[in-house]
Amino acid sequence: MSEILKKENILTNCKPAPKEEIIKKLGQILYEDGCIEKEYIQGMIDKEGVFNTNIGNSIAIPHGIESSKVYVKKAGIAIMTIPEGTDWGSDEPVRIVIAIAGDGDVHIDILGRIAEVLSDPDDVEKVVNSNADEIYALFA
């Protein structure tokens, strides 16, 4: 997973913000890293209208709707931690946002690794309180 995640694509200790703003910021990181074309960011926002990407355990995993996958150039993820939590349109505030650009098997592999690293609430707490180097080491 180290080829998909770069330390500079990890933002820690961020302030709460509207989810669309967070998605745009993480999408911009994926765009600047050469993972996606700009249109994919709108695909991630559109996905939220169809399906809330808050998966529980204080984690949201925004990704593009199926039709936006044509804008993925290479697999990548961008991570943001929000210690205070932010509203994601569900009962539970989100403290870790992991934006994914991937398709096919790569997408499934990324989701599997996220589930592995963040399956326990204690693991989520650890990530929220970690710096970019520590988070990178957990996922790589």
Cβ–Cβ < 8 Å for 65, 46? yes
Q: How many CB atoms lie within 10 A of CB 22?
A: 22
> What are the pLDDT digits (tens) for 6-54?
999 999 999 999 999 999 999 999 999 999 999 999 999 999 999 999 9
The backbone torsions φ and ψ at residue 106, rounded to the nearest 5 degrees and listed phi first, read -60, -45
Known active-site residue 107 = no
pLDDT tens string 99-113? 999 876 777 788 888
* Mean local confidence (pLDDT), 78-89: 97
- Second CATH level (architecture) for the domain 7-139: 3-Layer(aba) Sandwich (3.40)
Residue type, 27: G
**Does residue 90 carry a pLDDT above 90?**
no
In the chain, the DSSP E strands lie at 10-11, 54-56, 59-60, 76-86, 94-101
Q: What is the pTM assigned to this prediction?
A: 0.94
Which among 19, 24, 47, 63 is annotated as catalytic? 63
